[in-house]
Amino acid sequence: MSTLSTIDSQTELLRQAAIRAGLLDAGDPPSLDGVISAEATQAIEALLDREVQVPEPTEEACRRHHAAHAARFVRGERVQVRHVLFAVTPGVDVAALRRRAEACLLDLRCHDGTSGAAFAAAARELSNCPSGAQGGELGWLEAGDCAPEFARELFGHVEVGVLPRLVHSRFGLHVVEVLARDPGEALPFDAVRGAVAATLRQQAYATALRQFLQQLAGAESPLVQ
């Protein structure tokens, strides 16, 4: 059986590439379940610093991005939200949990716009969040009140009602209803130039990293048996 069948393949690709580049001793042990040595972590960071280079975004690109995504660059945006949390805890059957969450989402979407009682009842019965006792109510939130991955699904959008997708966070899977939105104040480009540039750099780096991993996956490695 291939070593990659029991470990995270991308991590192993990078670890092997670091060995070939002379950044890591060939005797460094393969990882188990994606966990690698401290030396391998440092070598992979050095490899990525050397191989994954992204250009600085141009002024024109930044202005285009700001114009196309102006709703993401506001001050004081708030959303009134309630949710049903299906918590991912040690030992939980994630596939079964997802099926329960998806069934709940489908049911509540069928009731969306007809009665708020259905959502509140589902939260009280199913939610693993203390807010379930209040029908899942989280009140008015700003982006800083939420985990970043949760905030990305809520802010900078116009959707109101039960979101048509499960929201993933470090806590688990959420069925979310946006009850109301306060769009806040749109910020001019000059006020958010740095944030726009950082967003474009992050996007460019993610693209370059995917391409680098694809190149590694396509290259023959004598270390993979």
Q: What is the pLDDT of residues 9-33, one digit of tens each?
A: 788 889 899 999 999 999 998 876 6
Q: How many residues would you count in the chain?
A: 225
Tokens of 104: 């709940």
The CA distances from residue 159 to 14, 101, 114, 162, 173, in Å, are: 39, 20, 17, 9, 19
All CATH 3.10.50.40 domain ranges in the chain, comma separated: 74-186
Is the CATH code 1.10.10.10 the one for domain 74-186? no
CB contact at 8 A, 175 and 162: yes
Closest CA to 143 of 85, 69, 71: 71
Q: What is the pLDDT of residues 190-218, one digit of tens each?
A: 988 998 999 899 889 989 998 998 888 88
Q: What is the pLDDT of residues 146-181, one digit of tens each?
A: 999 999 899 888 888 999 999 999 999 999 999 999
| DSSP alpha helix (H) spans, 24-129 | 38-51, 59-68, 94-111, 116-126
